[in-house]
Structure 1
Amino acid sequence: MSPPTPRIAIIGAGPAGLTLAALLHKRAIPFTLFELRPRPTPSDLAAVSGMLDLHDESGLAAVRACDLYDDLLPLTADCEQAMRLLDVDGGVRHQDADEGEGRPEVSRHNLTGLLLSRIPAEMIRWDHKLRSATRRVDESSSVLLDFGEKGTHVFDFVVGADGAWSRVRQALIPDAAKPRYTGVQNLVVTARQIGTRYPQLAELVGRGSMFSLGMGHVCASHHGPQDSARLYVGVGTDEEDFVRVRGLEGKTAAEVGSVYLADENLYGRWGEKMKELIRTVCDEETKDHPGQAAELRGIYELPVGHAWQHRPGVTIIGDAAHLMTPWAGEGANISMWDSLDLAAVLVDAWEAAKARGSDTDGGLRRVWQEELDPKLAAFEKVMQERGAVYAEESSNNGKMIFSDDGLEKFVAFFKSHGPPPE
């Protein structure tokens, strides 16, 4: 006998997948969430991670819908809503004080833990790497998910929240363009307790966000948990295979930092303040993770404005739908906005199906699919249009930041628009 409720699968436990799962559970709509990573331990979630500024119309709206806003606020004290814009010598070109409202910052790990608190553990299957998703060409519009040695599963509806290299996107859009390299290689490093151990560097980066840019490169930072400074050292280069070409495969952060600071085409001509910051944080990263290869990889994006035709039984959200660069601070926010809207569509379809009724359990699921299809098509149209706007903004910001006169443009942008994108 067919199950009475729709069989829904969510692929990916990032902000998009976890937000959708929390919202569906709140409305008593069952699902199964699959994630390729192992279940995070308390120590995993306590580790330092990147910061996200949540916006009122998107990320914060989703948090409120999950009834988590009051729980979020105590987690937003690590990073002030202030910005410092520096030149390559560490000179302050512009700064904005912390206004303490509008865009609270929360660490990725804290947001993950917060959302997980609203999802029953038995509804998540960790250590499940999706190998393929195949739409069945029959009246059921079901989707076959292949997890290799973990088995195969059939679902009535599959949501791909599986990021940049989404397997679900391949099923929805077989001829979709792949993410393209944006011309930036990003090194991520962290120093903890920076205020106590390196007060002069703590003063340089501040307790909010900082951007230093010039010569086609950027060094940005956020203040975070454990009084940390997390640096994003972005190299502008056409070399997509930069890591291999420069012999940086398997190198520690300290080793990568040494290469960067010795090369006059990279950071060798930057001022001593900024070089000390990069050197110190790279060294601290290696001390905390001895022998571990640096987190260094290219930044990719999907073509701005890419779209797809609606197909029953499957959709994509977040980075799977509109992977964008980080230069507008919108990626996680748009992902959670997608989830908020999609949850409303799924709930509306289920309520409408129950109101129509059916003589059989399987019939009720078929009625739900009939209700869902047009609502989903309308949602995807709005989502694609919205994603294109923010993706274009992010792409344009990146071009500005990494241009030859990026600093002057960024200062002008800051002065005319208020705080720049994070």
Structure 2
Amino acid sequence: MRNMMRVGIVGGGPAGLTLAATLRREATKAAPFEITVLERGSAGRDQGNGWDLSKTAQEALARAGVDVPAVQRRGSDTARLFNVTDTARPDVCMRWPNSLAKLGLKKDQVLEMLNQETSRNEIIRRLIAAATHSDGGSGSVTVRHDCNVSTARRTNDGRGVEILGRNGDSYGTYDVVVDASGIASRLRHCRFSEAADAFYTGRTIVQGIVSSPEKSWHPWLTSRLGEGSMAVAGPAPSGTGIEQWMAQRYGAALEDQHTNINLWCFTEGPNDIPSLLKLEGLHGITSDKDAVKATMDYCVQRLSHEDWPEMYRDAFRAAESIRVLPVFMHPMAEVAYAHAVPDSEDLSVIGIGDALHALPPWSGTSGNYALTDATELATALLKLREGTEGTCTQEQIAAVLREQEAAFLKRADGPRERCMQVSKFAERAAKTLNIRDFSFEDSFLGTEAKDRSWSDLESVCIVGFFRVITFLNWLESYGIQPPKHEASAAARAAAEEPAAQ
């Protein structure tokens, strides 16, 4: 095998680009890398909101050459959760209180969650710049867009893996192929059969995107949203069942006021809502006026119960773009291995992130695990190159990939099991609970308080933490600031004052 290791990465999202940039930056002249990133989307497309980066994910991006604070939204590590029948104060306020900060207690010393939100578009832009930069490191990175990859196969001489397009065209032969193409991966079947494919969780996220809530929403909403997130639980149209109205900022720069507004809907099948709204085949974000109107009308109808003030419906009416996201999740690791493709153990192909172990958004770990996979795989490949003095066989590469694959799958199994429990409770709440019986604490834990025991120390500690943090925030008015801009006169006139409830 030649000294240059050829790495083909399918998927130009944060995980794939983190791997590419890290390998290029840390490779040595004795063991360089030639890296090609094949992305199915077009260059510069809007990839929507990001996520709150864990400490490990932040370290992975920094290692790849990204200035992490530059992709984070300052002040977005706050979430206020309300019951629509009592909006005088939030049921839960997840915000690190100033009182604890003054005592020298830092948030990352206590919990891993609730970090600042990020801009996915900005993360990708900076990763591409870091990956293709000419200074430092050894090797090269080429990023190609509009690449429709269909599969990969071992070459006839057994010295590499060829990536093929949908028309059978070759995208090149590589020593290592990394599948970072997400949950819709086509390369997954090189390693696992269809029996280990992702399954529909029963939830579909219906999302609107508003460029500036300050210009169209009621000031009460924008002040409670702040720079972070907010959620409001209220009754379904029939009065039985729960709807949850959610909003989240996601631009890195404070002057970027883009906000997602969501409903999480339970359906029998992943195509139920797209079919109802005549959006079959739609992928990603669209600003088509007919699609936006149909989708937002659907959301407005779901908030038709009299307990929902008009301002929540108006928030959806202000959306300029939409997307509909059926949520899928991969099965446990044991299921994947039970359906491994025969004789694929020695194939130099590995999945990372959602291509390997997709988790739903409510896990709080999906994007973070993807970046963790990427940085750990980079370390393993760099170590392999160093240990073999720059040359290694396909057998050696495959052995390292299988070891990494097992670790990645095992890590995802913990939150996966919890996600299943939480999802079952959320579905029951959405269909059968009365709003007076709903609790965000129960929603987090996946069980009702009446079904929990004091001997369940983990649940007791979680509930106690939520209540203490919320109480300390009450002493600080929950960190709520006056709205930066007044909403339009029409928006103010159309909205009902929450104080009147």
Normalising by the residue count of structure 1, what TM-score does the alignment of the two structures yield?
A: 0.83
1:142–1:80 Cα change, 3 Å: closer
Contact persistence 1:179–1:303 (CA under 8 A) = yes
**Is the partner of 2:416 in helix, strand or coil?**
helix
1:178 maps to what in 2?
Answer: 197
Q: Which residue is 2:244 aligned to?
A: 218
Deviation digits for residues 228-253 of structure 1, max 9, x if unmatched? 33112111222433125534437523
Deviation at residue 349 of structure 1 after TM alignment: 0.8
Aligned to 1:343: 378
Q: Partner amino acid for 2:189? A: Q
CA 146–51 in structure 1, closer or farther in 2 if over 3 Å, else same: closer
User: Identity of paired residues, percent?
Assistant: 21
Cα distance in 1, alignment partners of residues 306 and 199 from structure 2: 29
For residues 164 and 90 of structure 1, what CA distance do their matches in structure 2 show? Answer: 39
Match for 2:347 among 290, 306, 312?
Answer: 312
2:364 maps to amino acid: G
Aligned partner of residue 255 in structure 1, secondary structure:
helix
Call closer, same or farther: CA 1:31–1:152 in 2, change over 3 Å: closer
Displacement of 1:101 in angstroms is: 4.9
Structure 1 residue 269 displacement after superposition: 2.0
Partner in structure 2 of residue 330 of structure 1: 365
Separation in 2, partners of 1:137, 1:75: 44
Query: Following TM superposition, by how much is the alpha carbon of 1:194 offset from its aligned partner in structure 2, in angstroms?
Result: 2.0
Structure 1 match to 2:405? 380
Q: Report if the CA contact (8 A) 2:274-2:324 is conserved.
A: no
- Which residue does 1:74 correspond to in 2? 70
The equivalent residue for 1:153 is: 172
Which residue of 412, 415, 418 corresponds with 2:463? 415
In 2 relative to 1, CA 123–415 (structure 1 residues): closer, same or farther, beyond 3 Å?
same
Aligned to 1:202: 222
CA distance in 2, matches of 1:233, 1:351: 50
- 2:198 and 2:328 in contact (8 A); partners too: yes
Cα separation, 2, equivalents of 1:346 and 1:183: 38
Does the Cα contact within 8 Å between 2:4 and 2:34 map onto a contact in 1? yes
Q: Secondary structure at the match of 1:85?
A: strand
Structure 2: how far apart are the matches of 1:76 and 1:101? 16
Q: Could you tell me how far 1:197 is from its partner in structure 2?
A: 4.2
* 1:192 aligns to 2:227 (yes or no): no
2:325 is aligned with 1:297: yes
Counterparts of 1:399-410 in structure 2, within 5 Å, are 399-404=424-429, 405=433, 407=439, 409-410=442-443
Please, which of 241, 259, 264 is the counterpart of residue 234 of structure 1? 264
Going from structure 1 to structure 2, the CA distance change for 1:354 and 1:229 (only over 3 Å counts) comes to same
Q: Is the 8 A contact 1:170 1:176 kept in 2?
A: no
Using a 3 Å threshold, how does the CA distance of structure 1 residues 171 and 204 change in structure 2: closer, same or farther? same
Q: Partners in 2 of 1:72 and 1:296 — Cα distance?
A: 29
Describe how 1:87-102 pairs up with structure 2 within 5 A.
Answer: 87-89=83-85, 91=87, 92-98=90-96, 101-102=107-108
Structure 2: distance between partners of 1:236 and 1:90: 25
2:58 match: 60
Q: 1 CA distance for matches of 2:82 and 2:175? A: 52
The structural deviation recorded for 1:3 is: 4.4
Say if 1:213 and 1:401, in contact at 8 Å, map to a contact too: no
Contact 2:196 2:330 survives alignment (8 Å): yes
Return the alpha-carbon distance in structure 1 between the equivalents of residues 74 and 307 of structure 2. 28
Partner residue in 1 for 2:4:
5
Contact 1:218 1:402 in 2 (8 A): no
Counterpart of 1:280 in structure 2 is 314
Distance in 2 separating the partners of 1:39 and 1:212: 36
Please give the secondary structure, in 2, of the residue aligned with 1:259: helix
Query: Residue 81 of structure 2 contacts residue 93 of structure 2 at CA under 8 Å; is this kept in 1?
Result: yes
User: Out of 144, 148, 151, which is 1:129 matched to?
Assistant: 148
Secondary structure, aligned partner of 2:76: coil
Question: 1:361 is matched with which residue?
Answer: none
Measured in 2, the distance between the counterparts of 1:39 and 1:244 equals 26
Deviation of 1:54 (Å): 0.6
- 1:207 counterpart SS class: coil
| 2:425 aligned counterpart, secondary structure | helix
For residues 163-193 of structure 1, the C-alpha deviation after alignment (integer angstroms, 9 at most, x for no partner) is: 1121111111234422211111211112233
User: Which whole-Å CA distance do the structure 1 matches of 2:117 and 2:270 have between them?
Assistant: 31
Q: Distance between the aligned counterparts of 2:403 and 2:125, measured in 1? A: 32
**Deviation of the 1:137 alpha carbon:** 6.8
**TM-score when normalising by structure 2:** 0.70
Q: 1:375 to 1:244 in 2, by over 3 A?
A: closer
Partner Cα separation in structure 2 for residue 5 and residue 196 of structure 1 = 54
Does the Cα contact within 8 Å between 2:21 and 2:132 map onto a contact in 1? Answer: no
Aligned equivalents of 1:248 and 1:175: distance in 2?
A: 28
Q: Distance in 2 between matches of 1:170 and 1:218?
A: 36
Q: Which residue number corresponds to residue 25 of structure 1?
A: 24
Superposition map of 1:249-288 within 5 A: 249=279, 251-262=290-301, 266-269=302-305, 271-273=307-309, 276-277=311-312, 279-286=313-320
Further displaced range: 116-125 or 18-27: 116-125
SS in structure 1 of the partner of residue 361 of structure 2: coil
More off after superposition, 199-208 vs 132-141: 132-141
CA gap 1:245/1:97 in 2 versus in 1, 3 angstroms: same
* Distance (Å, rounded) in 2 between the aligned partners of 1:183 and 1:417: 30
CA contact (8 A) 2:292 2:319 kept: yes
CA distance in 1, matches of 2:325, 2:54: 27
Superposition deviation, residue 14 in structure 1: 1.3
Distance in 2 of aligned mates of 1:81 and 1:334? 19
Secondary structure of 1:164's counterpart equals coil
Q: Which amino acid aligns with 1:327?
A: W
User: Residue 165 in 1 paired to residue 184 in 2?
Assistant: yes
71-80 vs 7-16, which moves further: 71-80
Deviation digits for residues 116-169 of structure 1 (CA, Å, limit 9, x no counterpart): 221118611111110222234764353342353864422221111111121111
Cα distance in 2 for partners of 1:385, 1:223 equals 32
CA offsets 1:271-314 (integer angstroms, 9 cap, x no match): 333x522x33333323xx5xxxx311311111133433533311
Q: Is the 8 A contact 1:90 1:204 kept in 2?
A: no
Unpaired runs of 5+ residues, structure 2, are 28-32, 98-105, 109-114, 134-140, 235-240, 281-289, 450-458, 471-501
Q: 1:398 aligns with which of 423, 431, 435?
A: 423
